[in-house]
Structure 1
């Protein structure tokens, strides 16, 4: 039996006075409660909704370890019913919308109804009451651990999505953090927030999401009607709509309000042209200050789509390690840009060319350890088969005219062989390769930067520098071409007395192939951000050049609600899931 309330009755005898103000602790829970909890968690058969989802399976396994360490004691209730911490958890869920999550996915309303149901039970001696008590505890723990897993490592695992993302996420001890939070009153909300990625970039995205949601709550921004190109001097309702649109996102500063003057006629003036240029810059468009077809299309992307874009990139941050390093190179593929970050500041940046859609540049991290001046190019077998062999059929002198040779073996055992052996590559032999000598025609240019990896991706120079003038620069076979490679080489070799800028330039001029270890190796992160907030606080958006946003959004929309059925785990009923919560849930 549990004591839920203290009854106050008239004092009939002085002998009762010593009892006034005393409060009896609730009777301990029946041992059957712990046994039922253990039975629920030791099931051999998991539903597919858990078994087939890596993060949900992780939450399940963490939950089993959590209760085993506790000796199968309840975490969210005692003999007096649900503890305040149960309500605290449920009240924290709606606030997680700021993290880019969909709170209703975690079903706080259904769980609150279950909490109230258990709270109303007068006695836990009844087996059915014990089942509901255990159900509440298991569901709350699973919900907390799922939230913690989603905030720390993402709702989905990129390896299951085919989005060419291979970074290593943080390793977070979920059940230990839960136990620590339960040991102190009022810590659950703070603990959940602590699982978010520990990166300023993520925090800035979070703030941008909040601002975008405020715009959406006010009705969003108006569409600019289609028509001719808008430029300085234009007037009319389309210009008025353009002003309103750019003011909504802060690209056009608000005019001081003066109620004594009539509203001026909408004119495309210099201030509006400047606002259009700002909008174009932060959307990766050619900066012209005029509204052409491409700019109009970006202007008319609705706020709901921008919110989704911010949420998708917050999800990608959950796939990242805890730290990028104090000094590192970051290449953002959709931005076609590279930055060298040192001490939190951009020390060097430049435009890049990345892989075309047919040969996409993957997202991954590795460590740059050396560079090569006047590099040789070992042509990938795919390029040999798809480009060089067909070219040889038309021009037998193709290899000689492109300063290429066929090589067998590697290192001290390598030897140049007859060009006819190139067909061994076409038949799948890994013993042979085509190598292009250093020179003006070598697509790697004068320098390449090596961070050995399974994808055979590296940074390098290019003779085709005219491509850097394009707004979208997806032209390579997957490697990353640099706008200012010698500038990067000089920066990375600082502190090496042998490789002064003059020595580097002299070696390049000599044509000699030289490999140089870096004095300070550094991480390289090749990533895929279509939305971010730069250091100045400007929200940046880019096109989804490889379609990864679309793939991720579709997968998130199809995610079922976070739900576990303890009765089904015990074999009492078959779980069907909360049908009303299944559809339409994005990140």
Structure 2
């Protein structure tokens, strides 16, 4: 008779490695990593098995989940070599315990080697594909990286073991952007004694891993600390634009991945109630119609006394001559400004979160044309018409609002940017701390809806 209490005691004594070994008695058993920290607790991989003898509905294995798979000694040795060289990608080999992997290799093929190698491979995939920094250290990071769904760990492992190209499969996960490669080269050339520079390179290499590997054929990318926006087509910078971004604090510009769905020429501006009521603009517009008309304001009072103020299109409109329509819960968008002289200042962190763009009308027309929403002549005519016009685009364009404090600037120079929102410290601390498993893919930080005020816009 089976003594279940004795088995539980043995499991507690052996830890995760004992569990992995005991569950591997059947070659056909489906062994799934249900925790993302396979090297914790006696440095082994917790697994579970699906009994094959039970009558139940057949459930297809989720390819996104990492399974403990069979590792040959040759494949495990290739994996160990990858771990020992992973410092070139800005990761720490010690996180993956190559000593323990080598020890299992020396013992030969076994369930323990399967568990060890599967766990190491899983961690490498997660860190290279998704980034090593846990979500709680990514301040105001609202991008949801799709790579875990597009490049599922279980399938990657199966492909690596079937082909024998373990190193190639892992290497294919590194970001493909040229700026990441520039950081990689800078890390290789960095002086070992310059720890500050090396740490900044590591942090910003990891930030590239937070983004999708494929950014798209054409997209907009703005690096907030650089105060610059890039229009990218087929990997090349087509245009660059200086920007004004959110001031530090609650008005800091968050990091987003959104989609331009249309271009608004000659936009209106619905004034936030914090200004209509809090700053008395509603009463001023209602009580001084001449001033209101000269400044383009129209006010309506509802039956309940609620006052709405809308600034009409025109050269003095607080949003300028255009905005890019990119719906998001933060109410962040890229727009023009009548105060274009501010683009010449060095400190351009002064808005309430939205991003103001120089030569905004040029950008609007370019996006409308690239998106198939209008021809050049149509875009020019619409912009000069003076009326509110939304031009939907057939080919939507991603917008990446990023935060790099070390990287390649728009002139092609590798340099440091001011950490205007103090977002480096938590990333650096996380990289110094032990690796965290079971990492969340989405942040639970508060979404702060942008409320621009008159002083921040003009």
TM-score band w.r.t. shorter chain: 0.7 to 0.9
Of 177, 183, 186, the match for 1:208: 186
Query: How far apart are 1:562 and its partner, in Å?
Result: 7.6
1:516 aligns with 2:387: no
Which residues in structure 2 correspond to 1:197-236 (within 5 Å)?
197-212=175-190, 215-216=191-192, 220=193
Which residue pairs with 1:238 in the alignment? none
Of 73, 91, 96, the match for 1:106: 96
Which residue pairs with 2:126 in the alignment? 149
Q: Secondary structure at the match of 2:119?
A: helix
Q: Which stretch of structure 1 is more off in the superposition, 157-166 or 101-110?
A: 157-166
Query: 1:355 & 1:73 partners in 2: Cα distance?
Result: 46
If the length of structure 2 is used for normalisation, what is the TM-score?
0.73
How many residue pairs get matched? 391
Which residue pairs with 1:35 in the alignment? 25
Which residue pairs with 1:166 in the alignment? 143
Structure (1 or 2) with the greater strand fraction = 2
Contact 1:97 1:103 in 2 (8 A): yes
Query: How far apart are 1:195 and its partner, in Å?
Result: 1.8
Contact 1:331 1:337 in 2 (8 A): yes
CA change 1:42–1:101 in 2 (3 A) is closer
- Which segments of 5 or more consecutive residues in structure 2 lack a partner in the other structure? 1-20, 51-59, 439-458
Query: 2:267 & 2:128 partners in 1: Cα distance?
Result: 43
Which residue pairs with 1:21 in the alignment? none
Which residue pairs with 2:456 in the alignment? none
Query: How far apart are 1:434 and its partner, in Å?
Result: 4.0
- Which segments of 5 or more consecutive residues in structure 1 lack a partner in the other structure? 1-30, 53-58, 78-82, 125-132, 221-302, 408-415, 423-432, 564-587
Of 169, 173, 189, the match for 1:195: 173
Query: How far apart are 1:517 and its partner, in Å?
Result: 2.6
Of 409, 417, 421, the match for 2:306: 421
Which residues in structure 2 correspond to 1:266-277 (within 5 Å)?
none
Query: How far apart are 1:354 and its partner, in Å?
Result: 0.8
CA displacement 1:516-568 (0-9 Å, x = unmatched): 234643222221122223587531321111122212222232234789xxxxx
Query: 1:461 & 1:101 partners in 2: Cα distance?
Result: 41
Q: Secondary structure at the match of 2:384?
A: helix
Query: 1:405 & 1:106 partners in 2: Cα distance?
Result: 63
CA change 1:61–1:493 in 2 (3 A) is farther
Which residue pairs with 1:397 in the alignment? 284
Which residue pairs with 2:204 in the alignment? 313
Of 559, 563, 575, the match for 2:434: 559
Query: 2:49 & 2:299 partners in 1: Cα distance?
Result: 58
Query: 1:84 & 1:535 partners in 2: Cα distance?
Result: 45
Which residue pairs with 1:369 in the alignment? 261
C-alpha RMSD of matched pairs (Å): 3.9
Contact 2:408 2:414 in 1 (8 A): yes
CA change 1:504–1:74 in 2 (3 A) is closer
Contact 1:34 1:73 in 2 (8 A): no
Query: How far apart are 1:142 and its partner, in Å?
Result: 0.5
CA displacement 1:257-289 (0-9 Å, x = unmatched): xxxxxxxxxxxxxxxxxxxxxxxxxxxxxxxxx
Query: How far apart are 1:379 and its partner, in Å?
Result: 2.9
Query: 2:121 & 2:46 partners in 1: Cα distance?
Result: 11
CA change 1:86–1:472 in 2 (3 A) is same
Of 238, 243, 256, the match for 1:347: 238
Which residue pairs with 2:160 in the alignment? 181
Contact 2:33 2:48 in 1 (8 A): no
Query: 1:172 & 1:62 partners in 2: Cα distance?
Result: 23
Query: How far apart are 1:41 and its partner, in Å?
Result: 5.1
Query: How far apart are 1:50 and its partner, in Å?
Result: 6.6
Query: How far apart are 1:211 and its partner, in Å?
Result: 1.4
Which residue pairs with 2:247 in the alignment? 356
Which residue pairs with 2:117 in the alignment? 140
Which residue pairs with 1:472 in the alignment? 347
If the length of structure 1 is used for normalisation, what is the TM-score?
0.58
CA displacement 1:228-277 (0-9 Å, x = unmatched): xxxxxxxxxxxxxxxxxxxxxxxxxxxxxxxxxxxxxxxxxxxxxxxxxx
Which residue pairs with 1:333 in the alignment? 224
Q: Secondary structure at the match of 1:397?
A: helix
Query: 1:461 & 1:325 partners in 2: Cα distance?
Result: 25
Contact 1:62 1:175 in 2 (8 A): no
1:506 aligns with 2:384: yes
CA displacement 1:457-486 (0-9 Å, x = unmatched): 111111122221122211111111111111
CA displacement 1:365-406 (0-9 Å, x = unmatched): 2221222222111234xxx33x5433229x942665565455
Contact 1:355 1:478 in 2 (8 A): yes
Query: How far apart are 1:306 and its partner, in Å?
Result: 1.8
Contact 1:159 1:165 in 2 (8 A): no
Query: How far apart are 1:42 and its partner, in Å?
Result: 7.3
Query: How far apart are 1:488 and its partner, in Å?
Result: 1.4
Contact 1:158 1:166 in 2 (8 A): no
Which residues in structure 2 correspond to 1:40-119 (within 5 Å)?
75-76=70-71, 83-116=73-106, 118-119=107-108
Contact 1:530 1:542 in 2 (8 A): yes
CA change 1:421–1:67 in 2 (3 A) is closer
**Structure of larger gyration radius:** 1
CA displacement 1:314-360 (0-9 Å, x = unmatched): 21221222322222211111111111112322222110101111312
Contact 1:376 1:437 in 2 (8 A): yes
CA displacement 1:193-232 (0-9 Å, x = unmatched): 12212333322221121111xx22xxx4xxxxxxxxxxxx
Q: Secondary structure at the match of 1:93?
A: helix
